[in-house]
A and B are shown apart, each in its own frame.
Chain A
Amino acid sequence: MKKIGIISLSDRKSGFQTGHASTRRKTNILLKGPKNVKIGIPRAFYYHSYPGLWECFFRRLGHEPVVSPPSTQATLHKASAQTETEGCLPQKLFDGHVLSLIGKVDAVFVARIISIVKKYNCCPRFGALLDATRAGIARGVPLIPIEINETVAPLSKTLMKLARTTLGADTKTAKLAVKEAIEAMAQHHREEARRQREQTPGKRYLLLGHPYTLHDHFIADPMIKKMAQLQVPVELMSFAGSRHIKPGDILWCVFNQMYHKLHELDTQTYAGVIQISTFNCGADSMMADRFRRVCRQKGVPYMLLMMDEHTGKAGLDTRLEAFVDSLSWQKTGKAS
């Protein structure tokens, strides 16, 4: 397998010393032409925000995408020595995923996401993600960077650029790959919606969270399993239609969507809302209060579940059981 010539850290450093002009980030010169580069995709953040997109994209360009295995306690453990202690739980998981890829792949794919939806922004951690990864845990490891900023350029353009410059594909292949990748994501969303429709008859609970917490093996799975055990149907918050969202005063796109979703809730279909918050998430800390308020107005019971590295299964189970039980008692109490 050929080595990839991404600007190495030492190059950047020397460029830095010679002055500003030369420090302009040159487009990373992946050698033109090499096929079948092993590209590592951490199963975190943007993997879940753009489900199905990246694998398809890289495969179409003739490379080999390698997605890190689902997160477990071990992922976290791996990261714990090097990751920033004050970071949020998903950030730590991300670091763990990157670490688990290093050494197994030729380059790691890391995105800097400034906005996923036009005119809206994301958590500031996403903006720093690429540079922080480069300076921190993935020091000296070749990265494939991408900057996603829908406010400036639509996703297809960004992908096109990545394919043409960094990955050195020709226009025709690139175009095809972009088209198929986006289609793959749409397909994924459709699947999800269909599954959702099929399995949620009657009253259900809404599980609220970020795409990367709801679909994370470590964070949300225990809860989903527990709910299944209790035999209460749950609906995961879906961000499928995320390209067109309603305007609102919340500029973080994910939270805006959640906010509008909550506004549309009705007590007929939803028995309750459970928000999964992750430890040290600054955005959640600001928004949870607001969401609780909306739910109170709507008359839908609301619970906040905080997940951190040490959250034990027992504690989680107890809280979920208590929540579900208390709601069913309420109902029967009213009926009698």
Chain B
Amino acid sequence: MKERLAIPNLGNYTVALAAMVDGMGAEPWWSTYTHDHAMSLGIAAAPESVCLPFKAHLGHFLEADEAGVENAMMVNSIGACRLNYYRGMLDDTLKDMGRKIRLFGLGFDGFKPPVFRYFDPPIIPLLRAVFLGIEKIRTIDTIEIQTAFTRARELNTGETSLLTEHCLSELCGIDTKKRVQVFHKTVRERFKAIAIDKNRDPLRVGLIGEVSLLRDRQLNRNLEQILGHRGVETKNFFLLGGEIGNNFGISMGYKQQTARQLALVARPYLGCEVGGHARDSVAHTIHCAREGFDAMVHVCPTGCMPEVSIRPILRKVSEDMNIPVLELSFDEHTCALGVITRVEAFLDILQNRRRKGLTKAKSRGTS
């Protein structure tokens, strides 16, 4: 029997990661969001003052261990933020608790990442799996974009979210690149089939901030859906396709999102890379202001070093360019109701601005 490998959460994109892991000769253990049970495990085991995503990851792996999963994989980063030390600390904590799960990093140790050495996947199927994964990432990007567009306009609330789930679970089952491509083509049609109000001109809001928070609906209390169901078209700025292009210089069709371009946009306000996605947050805010978005929502875990430290800058951009920014920080005590209240109040303000004609109502045509 194949050994199992728990992979970290990356929202809906975990579907694609799972496909890649599958090609590595391991059986993936994953979920698109952190479960309640995992969350409580993580909160109990982690030091109190570490940030929320750490607790989520820890909980996730503890849950995996309870389920008898033998291995786990964690991403590394070389940035200045805490993410850099997640793996080491996860490892220590798991060992202290006497858990058996083996944790691999993705870092290169010698030539191959240790996880490859352990599973030793043959190269051809691995490559095939990687390409399959990339194709799936592209498809998920499309699903995400379509979801955001349709959800804001749907006549029967909830239909779009349901379809998204359907699409994702279907995508899970597809295992060749060709068929993913075929599926990709049908995605648009499927979303078109949902009855929408064509005349509605929804508020457009950009979501920026910390990755885990943007992508894990358990952590952000389903923020995207909250917004969508209140008739707001969201643009989540963490599209993995764009992100990969950003980090490795591979073009995935997001010309405006390479790290260099973002740096250039953010330059007048922020002259260096802070760490995490802080600079991107600033750049996207500027972009969105130019494109006539109604507002931005900046989400981050409480005390997140890079994102919190750029808040004064976001405020300045917001004033200079006339774009409201809602700052939400989340910790384990944040409850959905509180978020809803704040979001609703914010949306009232935005509607008001629209009525008064304070928002630039230009180029509102989206695909």
Contacts and interface: CB of A to CB of B under 8 A. Distances in A.
A251 B308 contact: no
B277 to A, nearest CB: 11
Interface residues of A, number: 47
A123 B80 contact: yes
A290 B47 CA distance: 11
Given A250-B85, A285-B50, A131 B329 contact: no
19 contacts: A13-B268, A15-B268, A25-B271, A112-B271, A124-B79, A124-B80, A127-B274, A127-B275, A128-B313, A135-B269, A136-B313, A147-B272, A282-B82, A283-B305, A285-B303, A286-B50, A289-B47, A289-B92, A289-B93
A286 to B, nearest CB: 5
Interface string B253-279: 000000000001101111111111010
Interface string B74-89: 0000111110110011
A327 interface: no
Contact of A288 (B47, B311, B316, B320): B47
Residue of B81, B92, B304, B317 contacting most chain A CB atoms (<10 Å): B81
A86 interface: yes
B334 interface: no
B312 A86 contact: no
Nearest to B50: A285
Contacts of B308: 84, 86-87
Contacts of B305: 123-125, 282-283
Contacts of A25: 267-268, 271
B287 interface: no
Interface stretch (A16-24, A51-59, A193-201, A215-223): A16-24
A128 B82 contact: no
Given A131-B313, A137-B312, A288-B47, A86 B303 contact: yes
Contacts of A129: 309
Interface string A69-109: 00000000000000010111001000000000000000000
B48 to A, nearest CB: 8
Interface of B: 47, 49-51, 78-82, 84-85, 88-89, 92-93, 264-265, 267-276, 278, 302-306, 308-313, 315-317, 320, 329
A26 to B, nearest CB: 12
Contacts of A13: 268, 320
A121 B77 CA distance: 13
A24 B304 contact: no
A124 B268 contact: no
A60 to B, nearest CB: 27
B272 A127 contact: yes
Chain A interface main SS type: helix
B107 to A, nearest CB: 10
A251 B309 contact: no
A133 B310 CA distance: 10
B316 A124 contact: no
Contact of B268 (A23, A123, A282, A290): A23
Nearest to A138: B312
A120 B313 CA distance: 25
Q: Closest 8 interchain pairs by CB?
A: A136-B312, A135-B316, A124-B275, A285-B49, A128-B309, A16-B268, A124-B306, A282-B305
Interface in A112-157: 112, 114, 121-125, 127-133, 135-137, 139, 147
A121 B83 CA distance: 14
Given A124-B276, A249-B88, A251-B78, A147 B309 contact: no
Nearest to A285: B49
Contacts of B309: 84, 87, 91, 124-125, 127-129, 132
Contact of B265 (A20, A84, A252): A20
Nearest to A284: B49
A108 B271 CA distance: 18
B78 A112 contact: no
Contacts of B79: 124
A331 interface: no
Contact of A282 (B88, B270, B304): B304
